């Protein structure tokens, strides 16, 4: 396609988008049809549809209209190309962009089977033979996909299967509207081909050989039933799903493999969880470069259009609603009564606590009489919201203030609507927040969940916050409907701890010698762990909160092991950072108390969360991931729950335990505690703390024999917690702060 036609395509895409913004969907479809008719081949068609699809997603267009436009363009191709081209197009599209793929397939598949590209072959005998062959040798994977009920009733679909099967290289088939192709070897007779496939199914009993095969044959991947290691089928499937299934097979962390993540944070997070658990990923199975290229091209051509021109035009309409003196007028209008305010909450889909805290705040605002709208990120969206989408909600809802957890005012709001009050509640470690804080507006309000963030850490991470008043808001309790009305008198487990353990290979190998790699970094980490094991919990915490102390320890370890670094060790060197509490330190503060209890003979122990099963000593007690809705039931079955947070003793786990009528014991961290639980609860009357491992064991033994005292302490703390941290009180505190009432 020449430059002239490409320019026409780009102009048409912009015109389509204009029509979409104007909600003229009929005209947009007509324009798309003209554009689709100009496609000269499949690669260009795919390129343009990928481009357009990413444009539509980023623009916040409703999903049903995206589906209408993209599936329309795909349907047009059915009558332009041969069957192999069409099916390869579908398969390649789902590999290149699974998120967009779900939109292009929202059409009646009969249209595909009846198209010019699908030749009808009326050979029932061969059809039955082929379906039977697929059912025999693929039954563990395809199950009854090719059963009588699914296909033989539909003559058009039967003809499609016949036609596709007659091609020399592939068998095409669909599972839940996802197209796949089964690779066939190029052998003269079908009988030989069958036998070759059968041989292939059984030749990879050795997982190491299977791994080598995957790495060697980069364009082809294997899908298997992970419960059965004796049969495999070569299938060219969507690359991400395939990689996830393959990863579950191997534990080859010493392999020489690189990881290529896709652009979307949701996939990155899922894939990271596999890699950090010690699994490998073949180098070419996941390659996300197409995402970056598409988005780069998209940004270059149209970013100023949809990020500046359109939002600016919409913002101009909103300026009269939020003038310079908007907050002063708001304080005057709501001086006596804070009800009737309109609140917009932006929430993430990633953190369970953020999700339910946002829901509870919404309930709290509504209980005060406020109107409230809660915006959640969409599954395909990644982090954040599109500019135009947020402005559209603001235009329609006209909020008096915006609230977000862990997100400061976005640059587009600072630029276009600086006068609308914006509340940020920081609940995570500042360095781990999804966005930065480059500018603070006069009407910005910041709340923090810990004293350390309040007094020091936030302003150190974001210098623009120097001198800014930061307010303390530790907690919003959860109204969990699954909370047991009465605590169980008889518990199945004596002690329990529910928390994910971050899997760090160099730390894991210390407790599982079979996983040792012998690298110098591993030697340093192992030496560091040996030193930390000699300390009590509060001593360990005091070291791990200090970069200077960690730096000195790493420096001493390097000298003791007679190791030289290629670059001089700095206080922010990765090796130093890795020892801080959110890395090896986080790991140690969780596992060392549990290790001590096991070595002391504790048997009725419950360990919930991911990662425990990776260490042999914890494996017998590991119960896996516990869904949030099941926490009250699970914690109520544990006599003594542990709160071993590496950051603060007044952690969300405290709320989860109290909400579940559960007794808990917390570690004492002294000056290393970002928010001490004793700031709100009386020690030994409402909460129980331990300073040493021996004291932990002693108190566990004591309180196991004192169920009445456990219940008394729990109910005292629970009553105070429910009173102090209700959603209504948290919401009222926010509104009073914004309106200058406190």
User: What is the 3 state secondary structure string of 460-524?
Assistant: HHCHHHCCCCEEECCCCCCCCCCCCCCCCCCCCEEEEEECCCCCCHHHHHHHCHHHCCCCHHHHH
The yes-or-no verdict on residue 448 having pLDDT over 50 is yes
pLDDT > 70 in the chain, percent: 58
Q: Residue 69 burial by CB count (10 A; 0-12/13-18/19+): exposed, middle or buried?
A: buried
The yes-or-no verdict on residue 414 having pLDDT over 50 is yes
pLDDT of residue 3: 54
Q: Which residue has the higher pLDDT, 691 or 518?
A: 691
Q: Distance between CA atoms of 688 and 679, rounded to whole angstroms?
A: 13
Mean pLDDT of 244-272: 32
Question: Mean pLDDT, the chain, as a whole number?
Answer: 69
SS3 content of the chain, % helix, strand, coil (to 5): 55, 10, 35
User: What is the 3 state secondary structure string of 249-290?
Assistant: CCCCCCCCCCCCCCCCHHHHHHHHHHHCCCCCCCCCCCCCHH
pLDDT of residue 681: 92
Give the homologous superfamily in CATH for domain 319-472: Glycogen Phosphorylase B; (3.40.50.2000)
- The CA-atom distances, in angstroms, between 526 and each of 403, 418, 543 are 44, 51, 17
- Structural contact between residues 266 and 241, judged by C-beta atoms closer than 8 angstroms: no
- The CA-atom distances, in angstroms, between 530 and each of 163, 186, 502, 556, 592 are 66, 58, 19, 13, 11
Task: Give SS3 for 342.
Answer: strand
- pLDDT tens for each residue of 34-69: 665 665 555 666 776 776 676 666 655 666 667 776
pLDDT of residue 112: 53
- pLDDT tens for each residue of 461-478: 888 888 889 998 888 877
Mean pLDDT of 655-659: 85
The yes-or-no verdict on residue 378 having pLDDT over 60 is no
- Structural contact between residues 194 and 129, judged by C-beta atoms closer than 8 angstroms: no
Residue 485 structure tokens: 């009305």
pLDDT of residue 283: 29
Q: Where are the domains of the chain?
A: 3-113, 140-155+165-275, 319-472, 493-725
Sheet containing 422-426: give its strands across. Answer: 371-376, 342-347, 401-405, 422-426, 444-448, 470-472
Confidence of residue 10 (pLDDT cuts 50, 70, 90): low
pLDDT of residue 134: 37
Confidence of residue 548 (pLDDT cuts 50, 70, 90): confident
- The CA-atom distances, in angstroms, between 438 and each of 425, 429, 464, 541 are 16, 17, 7, 31
Least confidently predicted of 115-129, 432-446, 470-484, 728-742: 115-129
Q: Pick the most confident of 332-341, 411-420, 705-714.
A: 705-714
Mean pLDDT of 368-397: 71
Mean pLDDT of 407-429: 87
- pLDDT tens for each residue of 71-103: 766 666 666 665 556 666 777 777 777 777 777
Architecture of domain 493-725: 3-Layer(aba) Sandwich (3.40)
């Amino acid at each position: 396609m020449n430059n002239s036609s490409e320019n026409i395509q780009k102009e048409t895409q912009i015109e389509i988008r204009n029509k979409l913004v104007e909600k003229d969907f009929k005209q947009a479809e007509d324009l798309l049809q003209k554009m689709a008719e100009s496609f000269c081949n499949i690669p260009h068609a795919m390129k343009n549809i990928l481009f357009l699809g990413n444009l539509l997603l980023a623009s916040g267009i409703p999903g049903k209209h995206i589906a209408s436009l993209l599936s329309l363009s795909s349907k047009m191709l059915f009558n332009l190309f041969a069957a192999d081209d069409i099916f390869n197009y579908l398969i390649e599209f789902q590999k290149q962009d699974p998120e967009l793929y779900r939109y292009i397939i929202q059409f009646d598949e009969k249209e595909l089977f009846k198209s010019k590209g699908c030749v009808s072959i009326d050979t029932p005998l061969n059809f039955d033979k082929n379906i039977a062959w697929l059912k025999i040798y693929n039954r563990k994977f395809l199950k009854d996909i090719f059963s009588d009920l699914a296909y033989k009733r539909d003559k058009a679909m039967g003809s499609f299967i016949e036609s596709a099967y007659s091609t020399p290289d592939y068998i095409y088939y669909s599972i839940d509207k996802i197209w796949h192709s089964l690779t066939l070897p190029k052998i003269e007779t079908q009988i030989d081909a069958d036998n070759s496939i059968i041989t292939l199914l059984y030749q990879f009993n050795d997982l190491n050989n299977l791994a080598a095969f995957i790495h060697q044959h980069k364009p082809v991947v294997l899908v298997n039933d992970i419960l059965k290691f004796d049969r495999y089928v070569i299938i060219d499937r969507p690359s991400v799903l395939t990689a996830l299934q393959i990863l579950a097979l191997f534990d080859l962390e010493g392999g020489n493999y690189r990881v290529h993540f896709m652009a979307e944070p949701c996939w990155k997070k899922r894939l990271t969880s596999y890699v950090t658990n010690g699994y490998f990923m073949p180098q070419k199975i996941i390659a996300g470069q197409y995402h970056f290229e598409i988005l780069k091209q998209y940004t270059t051509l149209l970013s100023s259009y949809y990020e500046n021109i359109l939002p600016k035009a919409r913002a101009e309409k909103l300026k009269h609603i939020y003038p310079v003196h908007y907050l002063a007028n708001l304080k005057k209008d709501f001086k006596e009564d804070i009800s009737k305010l309109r609140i917009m909450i932006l929430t993430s889909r990633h953190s369970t606590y953020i999700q339910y805290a946002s829901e509870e705040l919404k309930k709290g605002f509504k209980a005060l009489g406020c109107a409230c709208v809660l915006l959640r990120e969409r599954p395909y969206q990644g982090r954040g919201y599109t500019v135009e989408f947020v402005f559209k909600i603001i235009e329609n809802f006209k909020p008096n203030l915006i609230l977000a957890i862990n997100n400061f005012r976005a640059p587009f709001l600072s630029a276009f609507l600086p006068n609308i009050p914006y509340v940020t509640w920081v609940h995570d470690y500042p360095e781990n927040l999804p966005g930065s804080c480059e500018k603070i507006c006069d009407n910005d309000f910041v709340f923090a969940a810990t004293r350390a963030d309040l007094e020091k850490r936030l302003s150190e991470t974001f210098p623009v916050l120097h001198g800014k008043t930061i307010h303390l808001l530790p907690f919003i309790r959860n109204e969990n409907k699954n909370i047991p009305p009465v605590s169980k008198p008889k518990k199945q487990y004596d002690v329990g701890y529910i928390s994910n353990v971050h899997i760090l290979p160099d730390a894991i190998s210390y407790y599982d010698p079979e996983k040792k790699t012998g690298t110098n970094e591993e030697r340093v980490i192992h030496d560091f762990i040996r030193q930390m094991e000699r300390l009590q919990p509060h001593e360990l915490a005091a070291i791990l909160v200090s970069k200077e102390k960690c730096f000195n320890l790493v420096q001493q370890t390097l000298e003791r092991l007679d190791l030289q670094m290629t670059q001089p060790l700095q206080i922010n060197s990765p090796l130093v950072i890795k020892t801080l509490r959110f890395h090896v330190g986080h790991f140690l503060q969780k596992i060392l108390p549990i290790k001590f209890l096991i070595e002391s003979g504790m048997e009725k122990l419950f360990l919930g969360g991911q990662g425990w099963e990776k260490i042999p000593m914890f494996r017998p007690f590991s119960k896996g991931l516990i869904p949030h809705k099941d926490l009250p039931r699970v914690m109520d079955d544990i006599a003594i729950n542990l709160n071993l947070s590496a950051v603060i003793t007044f952690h969300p786990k405290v709320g989860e335990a109290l909400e579940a009528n559960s007794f808990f014991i917390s570690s004492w961290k002294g000056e290393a505690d970002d928010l001490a639980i004793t700031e709100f609860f009386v020690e030994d009357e409402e909460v129980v703390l331990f300073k040493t491992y021996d004291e932990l064991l002693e108190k566990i033994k004591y309180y196991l024999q004192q169920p009445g005292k456990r219940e008394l302490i729990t109910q005292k703390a629970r009553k105070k917690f429910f009173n102090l941290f209700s959603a209504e009180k948290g919401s009222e505190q926010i509104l009073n702060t914004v309106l200058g009432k406190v």
